[in-house]
Amino acid sequence: MKSTTTRAFQWVGTLAAGALLLTACGSSDEGAAGQAGPGTFEGRGPITYVAGKDTTGSMQPMLDHWNKLHPKEKVTFIQLPTDADAQRQQMIQNAETKSDAYTVLSLDVVWTSEFAAHQWIDKLPEKRFPLDKMLKPVVETAKYRDGLYAVPASSDGGMLYYRTDLLKKAGVSQPPTTWAELKADCAKVKKLPEAEGMSCYAGQFQKYEGLTVNFAEAVNSAGGVVTDANGKPDVDTAAAKKGLDFLVDSVKDRTIPKEGITYLEEDGRQAFQSGKLIFLRNWPYVYSLAGKSDIKGKYAVAPLPGLDGPGSSSLGGHNLALSTYAKNKATALDFMKFLSSEENTATFLKEASLAPPYAALYDDKALIGQYPYLPVLKESILRAVPRPRVVQYGDVTAAVQREAYAALTGSKSSAQALKDLQEALQKSTGR
């Protein structure tokens, strides 16, 4: 972490030297009083909170709670579509018109660099937030060039949901750790009369951000990478091909049902809850909702399977960012602190099984007793692989989606898709 002085200098770069000195010594996080501009965080009054549609129903009660405590600084919830790419587009449109309609943005973890580099979001005062209590990889997603541009609110790790009742009945005592086991388990379960008409597996294979996630997971879980440790594209490899082939072959042999190619998160959840799927790759939010459905008590979660053993998830989640063009930034900062507090993220965990950014909540014995998915989730997040952290993320994900979808729908071979993807990624990242 940088010293307060350094950060203060960065935020008040345009102030007169005297004021600069004062700020540096006084180390005010909000910058010099009375000065507008980056880092000043002034103004109190109504704000908006902008996020993808809340499928869990847990957000409005939390906002009502804030509004009761802050009647003069009420927050209005603006819900965008569930599809991550559509959210990104609307947020970018708002920024490009310099509109003040959006105050606090729920940014997908993969958008931080792009939004920060374009100065669509403000650099934030690190010491206002208890970052040291949060999981390190989660905090990293909120940074750009060592500066904090967002505050972790919820993390996300992919998990394998499975039907405990059916596996048990079919004589399968443990969830699969490899793709081959997953297919073998499905074959056993499908022999049961109650599994008639069921399909084996689904994830998110529609052409959108969810496909980027599922593609990257398949590649990583076969020992490949999309970009290497230095951010260089390296996806045209034998290991990556094994990962993509798992998905392509699964579509071909109907391990993934035909309609699986159209699924976003919510479609898969509905299919699993209505008894159409034996296995589902999805995020933690499904755990709580499935508990209120017909399969209540009949499912559990396991780490994602891979080629030779457990696979790895893509690191997901959402951070709170402050739109550069917003009004009432003092209120906004308080609200961001409120929404990302340990107490309130614990409430989201209990109400909606959302993954909190705070490390301690995953080791709390009482919580684990009540929420048995916590250890699997913690493991999933800590082992998760970040998607490329690049300013040109929009181009990167569009290329992944285009090539992965072409392979899944059979219009290109896996080998050709990976070759074309490697070229496209080299072009968009300039590496």
User: Does the protein bind ligand GLC through residue 122 (CB under 6 A)?
Assistant: no
- Binding segment for ligand GLC among 19-27, 208-216, 220-228, 270-278 (CB under 6 A)? 208-216
Q: Residue 161 CA to chain centroid, in angstroms?
A: 18
Query: Which of 283, 299, 358, 373 contacts ligand GLC by CB under 6 A?
Result: 283
Burial class (CB in 10 A: 0-12, 13-18, 19+), 115: buried
Distance CA 206, CA 405 (A): 8
Burial class (CB in 10 A: 0-12, 13-18, 19+), 350: middle
* Cβ 156 to ligand GLC shortest distance, Å: 3
CA distance between the termini of the chain: 28
- Between the CA of residue 203 and those of 6, 137, 346, 347, what are the distances in Å? 45, 24, 27, 27
Question: Among candidates 249, 318, 363, 404, which has minimal Cα distance to 59?
Answer: 318
Q: Which is nearer to ligand GLC, 15 or 374 (CB)?
A: 374
Longest alpha-carbon distance in the chain: 80
* Cβ 69 to ligand GLC shortest distance, Å: 28
- The footprint of ligand GLC on residues 307-336 (CB under 6 A) is 316-318
* Cβ 3 to ligand GLC shortest distance, Å: 32
User: Does the protein bind ligand GLC through residue 217 (CB under 6 A)?
Assistant: no
* Cβ 221 to ligand GLC shortest distance, Å: 17
User: Does the protein bind ligand GLC through residue 156 (CB under 6 A)?
Assistant: yes
In angstroms, what is the C-alpha Rg of the chain? 22
- Between the CA of residue 145 and those of 1, 120, 130, what are the distances in Å? 12, 15, 20
Both structure tokens of 289: 């909702």
- Binding segment for ligand GLC among 106-114, 142-150, 165-173, 249-257 (CB under 6 A)? 106-114
* Cβ 112 to ligand GLC shortest distance, Å: 11
User: Does the protein bind ligand GLC through residue 202 (CB under 6 A)?
Assistant: no
* Cβ 233 to ligand GLC shortest distance, Å: 19
- Binding segment for ligand GLC among 90-98, 202-210, 253-261, 274-282 (CB under 6 A)? 202-210
- Binding segment for ligand GLC among 2-10, 14-22, 102-110, 359-367 (CB under 6 A)? 102-110
DSSP letter string over 156-192? EE-EEEEEHHHHHHTT--S--SBHHHHHHHHHHHTTS
SS (H, E, C) 14-67: CCCHHHHHHHHHHCCCCCCCCCCCCCCCCCCCCEEEEEECCCCCCHHHHHHHHH
Distance CA 154, CA 354 (A): 6
Q: Which is nearer to ligand GLC, 213 or 326 (CB)?
A: 213
Q: Which is nearer to ligand GLC, 48 or 212 (CB)?
A: 212
Query: Which of 84, 142, 374, 417 contacts ligand GLC by CB under 6 A?
Result: 84
Query: Which of 176, 210, 224, 305 contacts ligand GLC by CB under 6 A?
Result: 210
Q: Which is nearer to ligand GLC, 104 or 213 (CB)?
A: 213
Distance CA 110, CA 317 (A): 9
For 118, which DSSP code?
Answer: T
* Cβ 283 to ligand GLC shortest distance, Å: 6
Q: Which is nearer to ligand GLC, 108 or 234 (CB)?
A: 108
* Cβ 400 to ligand GLC shortest distance, Å: 12
Distance CA 13, CA 21 (A): 11
Query: Which of 73, 209, 267, 379 contacts ligand GLC by CB under 6 A?
Result: 209
- Between the CA of residue 281 and those of 182, 267, 372, what are the distances in Å? 12, 12, 17
Return the sign of the alpha-carbon dihedral for residues 91, 92, 95, 99: negative
- Does residue 40 contact residue 329 with C-beta atoms inside 8 Å? yes
* Cβ 264 to ligand GLC shortest distance, Å: 7
* Cβ 159 to ligand GLC shortest distance, Å: 12
Q: Which is nearer to ligand GLC, 41 or 120 (CB)?
A: 120
- Binding segment for ligand GLC among 107-115, 178-186, 215-223, 249-257 (CB under 6 A)? 107-115
User: Does the protein bind ligand GLC through residue 213 (CB under 6 A)?
Assistant: yes
Q: Which residue is nearest to ligand GLC (CB)?
A: 316
* Cβ 110 to ligand GLC shortest distance, Å: 6
Residues that bind ligand GLC (CB under 6 A): 84, 108-110, 156, 204, 209-210, 213, 265, 283, 316-318
